[in-house]
Amino acid sequence: MTTDWAERLPTDFAFAECREAWRMADAPQPPAAAGSALLTLQQVQLRQPGRSGASIGPFNLALQAGEHVAILGPSGAGKSTLLKLMAGERPPQQGELRFDGRTLAGWSPAALARRRAVLPQSHAVAFSLPVALVVGLGRVALDHDPALASVTGEALALAHAGHLTTRRFDTLSGGEQARVQLARVFAQLWDAQAGLLLVDEPLASLDPGLQFELLDAMQAFCRTRGHALVAVLHDINQALAGFERLWLLQQGRLMGDLPPNASALAPLENLYGIQLRSVPGEDGRLAVLARRRVA
Amino acid sequence: MTLSVLRRGPVPRTPAAAGSKLLAWPLLGTLALLLAATLLAAQFGPVAISMADWLAPWRAAHDDGSAAFSGAAHVLWQIRLPRVIFALLVGAALALAGSLTQALFRNPLADPGLLGVTTGAACAAALTLVIFASAAAPLPPAWRPWVLPVAAFCGALLVCFSLDRIARWLTPGSIAGLLLTGLAINAVTAAVIGLATYLATDEQLRSLSFWTLGSLAGAGWSLVATMAVLLALLVPFACRLARPLNALALGEAAASHVGIAVPRLRGWVVLLVALSCGAAVAWCGVIGFLGLLAPHLARACVGADLRRQLPFSMLLGGALLLLADTLARTLAAPAEIPVGIFTALIGGPAFLLMLRAAVRQQGGSV
């Protein structure tokens, strides 16, 4: 791949980023070994500033392409911090993260944004931007984007927020803002394949009906495009119903990497200090009823 | 009233539709208003201007008489018109700096004046004027007019960078923290300006009061040309940053997740703010609150999308400064009130109103 002078000129900000991304994508890559993971964490460790002595990790995790993983654990276990580590938002002090065979630092922001989206827990947006613009910002890394209008509309519809298109973001309720932000990450990965979606408690501020609808939308969105999904969740039943692996976190350590079947019950009981009784769930999957642990 | 109508008309349903076509209507309307305001402002003043004076250049071209540019015609073409256009350009530069500062700090109450950037530039200029006056002597005469602008630019740049660092280190993400950091920086720069005043000779003192009050009296065609060239260089670049800056409204982490190289973006914005602010301060002194008001009004008219807000707030900034300057030079004619006094008198209460609105919106705390 040759670089000509035109590519070195300071052009449009996002445009330059994309050029860089293409150049990096075109450069000869060591071919990924067959069956290699989409995202790997090797001995990743992070000491938390402010909490004396508290550190999370070391984590040794491998996420396969298209896999759906739920992160569970009590409050303060480091779920969000693990997600931030995986998003590259918090650089680890030790260890290495690789996305699609390349270290996170080896990706340009724009190239990474075309394969991986992150939905943070807080939805604060400065100024009063229109909803359609907020959703469209998911695709800001694309220089030329003729499909922007249609993708924005479809993403909003998929997130059950089609009726909010003409509103301003700061006038929305918490649940509506969550839906618009979900539409934003949908728009970001709309035409990508085998990408990665990281979400932090996406259903926290929604009513039960919407929780089901949005969880289904998120699962369907990822399945049709082969995206892997990693979600921090609070609801055990949501994790059991829609995910293939459960990562159990306690005090910054990984306590278990389990499939969502009966074998997960005992570790989950220990994790939260509760008793779980299994009840028949939808289409043969496991569901549980939480009860107080009897001393 | 007319402005809110403009907003209701061609509201884009999608971001893609917010293209140049829909941008054109409010822009063209404002441009027409600006042109009318420019002609009117040039008409007002202690010396009466007649139609014949307006036609002086054409008369001069026809009978190549040097007599054409005498009296009122000279006042119009050599004093008033450059000053009016200079007011538009400086207002636009200040509004640009204000818009970019607000986008950078994700905060509608951020303003280069309140945060100390403007006074930082004035402080550097004052130091240059008093302490390093002798240092400029060995310079070639052609370079001398550039010493003050370069000093002002460096001062603005220094304050911008340290503000960016200090506010993020001490009080990350807090509006109050940012403004308090600005307060501290303002105190330091005010002390340095005070020191410069103390050390100044009588003649230097006169120039110094010019910095702290702000005036457009120095305007001439050469300054107009310099400012126009500077803006012509800065504006296209700033407009290209509008899209990534919109993404910055999502928060720094979210902006980097959608593919923005945030540290580089911050660097560019700081540079642009320092350049536009430094230039305005170097040639006009401290004109406060314009960078706060113009973006605020623009946001109320065309919305918060920077691709539209940025050009619109520059037009409004020009119009506001033209209005203030016309008042400043006509109210007490033939004497002249420094224009910075006017912008501060209007801007201070306006800031308090905006603060009240912000507090109400966020439920009692900033």
Residue B30's closest CA among B348, B320, B315, B341?
Answer: B315
* In contact, B186 and B122? CB cutoff 8 Å: no
Q: What is the 3-state secondary structure (H, E, C) of chain B?
A: CHHHHHHHCCCCCCHHHCCHHHHHHHHHHHHHHHHHHHHHHHHCCCCCCCHHHHCHHHHHHHHCCHHHCCCHHHHHHHHHHHHHHHHHHHHHHHHHHHHHHHHHCCCCCCCCCCCCHHHHHHHHHHHHHHCCCCCCCCCCHHHHHHHHHHHHHHHHHHHHHHHHHHHHHHCCCCHHHHHHHHHHHHHHHHHHHHHHHHHCCHHHHHHHHHHHHCCCCCCCHHHHHHHHHHHHHHHHHHHHHHHHHHHHCCCHHHHHHCCCCHHHHHHHHHHHHHHHHHHHHHHHCCCCCHHHHHHHHHHHHHCCCHHHHHHHHHHHHHHHHHHHHHHHHHCCCCCCCCHHHHHHHHHHHHHHHHHHHHHHHCCCCC
Instruction: Specify the pLDDT at position B152.
Output: 87
Mean pLDDT, rounded, for B321-349 = 85
Residues in chain A: 295
Residue A249's closest CA among A62, A19, A74, A32?
Answer: A74
Closest CB to B257 among A117, A127, A133: A117
> Computed from CA positions of residues B158, B164, B165, B171, in that sequence, does the dihedral angle turn out positive or negative?
positive
Mean pLDDT, rounded, for B320-344 = 85
Residue A59's closest CA among A92, A35, A103, A30?
Answer: A92
Instruction: Specify the pLDDT at position A33.
Output: 43
pLDDT in tens, chain A (295 residues): 333 433 333 444 444 544 454 444 444 444 344 457 899 999 998 887 665 557 887 899 999 999 999 999 998 888 999 999 999 888 888 899 999 989 988 899 999 999 999 999 887 888 889 999 999 999 998 888 888 999 999 999 999 999 999 999 988 988 899 999 999 999 999 999 999 999 998 888 788 888 988 999 999 999 999 999 999 998 899 999 889 999 999 988 999 899 988 888 899 999 999 999 888 877 778 888 888 887 6
Instruction: Specify the pLDDT at position B302.
Output: 86
Nearest CA in chain B to A196: B257
Other C-beta atoms closer than 10 Å to the C-beta of A124 total 14
Give the integer Cα–Cα distance in Å for A140 and B258.
7
Cβ of residue B241 closer than 8 Å to a chain A Cβ: yes
Instruction: Specify the pLDDT at position B20.
Output: 46
Cβ of residue A128 closer than 8 Å to a chain B Cβ: yes
* Complex ipTM: 0.84
Cβ of residue B21 closer than 8 Å to a chain A Cβ: no
Nearest CA in chain A to B362: A170
Q: Is the bond into A58 cis (omega within 30 degrees of 0)? A: yes
Residue B148 has pLDDT above 90, yes or no: no
**Best of B11, B250, B269 to disrupt the A interface by mutation (most A CBs within 10 Å)?**
B250
More confident residue, B54 or B174: B54
Mean pLDDT, rounded, for B342-365 = 76
Give the integer Cα–Cα distance in Å for B23 and B306.
12
Q: What is the pTM of this model?
A: 0.84
Question: What tokens does B314 get?
Answer: 């520059």
Instruction: Specify the pLDDT at position A136.
Output: 94
Please judge whether A130 and B305 are an interchain contact, meaning their C-beta atoms are less than 8 angstroms apart. yes
Give the integer Cα–Cα distance in Å for A158 and A172.
18
Mean pLDDT of chain B: 81
Residues B155-199 pLDDT 10s: 888 988 888 788 777 766 666 777 788 888 889 988 988 888 888
Please judge whether A13 and B243 are an interchain contact, meaning their C-beta atoms are less than 8 angstroms apart. yes
Closest CB to B257 among A118, A139, A152: A118
Instruction: Specify the pLDDT at position B238.
Output: 93
Instruction: Specify the pLDDT at position B18.
Output: 43
Tell me the shortest Cα–Cα distance from A41 to chain B, in angstroms: 19
Q: Which residues of B touch A84 (CB under 8 A)?
A: 253
Please judge whether A140 and B17 are an interchain contact, meaning their C-beta atoms are less than 8 angstroms apart. no
Instruction: Specify the pLDDT at position B66.
Output: 58
Give the integer Cα–Cα distance in Å for A269 and A278.
12
Please judge whether B259 and A129 are an interchain contact, meaning their C-beta atoms are less than 8 angstroms apart. no
Residue B30 has pLDDT above 90, yes or no: no
Give the integer Cα–Cα distance in Å for A136 and A183.
9
* In contact, B270 and B101? CB cutoff 8 Å: no
Query: Pairing state of beta strands A55-63 and A39-47?
Result: antiparallel
Instruction: Specify the pLDDT at position A5.
Output: 39
Query: How many Cα atoms within 13 Å fall on the side-chain side of residue B121?
Result: 34
**Which residues 258-287 of B have a C-beta within 8 angstroms of A?**
258-262, 265, 268
Tell me the shortest Cα–Cα distance from B255 to chain A, in angstroms: 9
Tell me the shortest Cα–Cα distance from B310 to chain A, in angstroms: 14
Give the integer Cα–Cα distance in Å for B119 and B40.
32
Instruction: Specify the pLDDT at position B173.
Output: 60
Rounded to whole angstroms, what are the CA distances from A6 to A10, A107, B254, B268? 9, 22, 30, 21
Q: Which residues of B touch A174 (CB under 8 A)?
A: none
Q: Kindly report each contact of residues B52-56 with a partner whose C-beta sits within 8 Å and lies 24 or more positions away, as own/partner.
A: B53/B77
Give the integer Cα–Cα distance in Å for B118 and B286.
6
**Best of B257, B309, B361 to disrupt the A interface by mutation (most A CBs within 10 Å)?**
B257
Give the integer Cα–Cα distance in Å for B202 and B208.
10
Cβ of residue B305 closer than 8 Å to a chain A Cβ: yes
Residues B76-112 pLDDT 10s: 888 889 999 999 999 999 999 999 999 988 888 888 8
Cβ of residue B253 closer than 8 Å to a chain A Cβ: yes
Q: Which residues of B touch A154 (CB under 8 A)?
A: none
**N-to-C CA span, chain B:** 30
Residues in chain B: 366
Residues B64-85 pLDDT 10s: 655 556 778 888 888 889 999 9
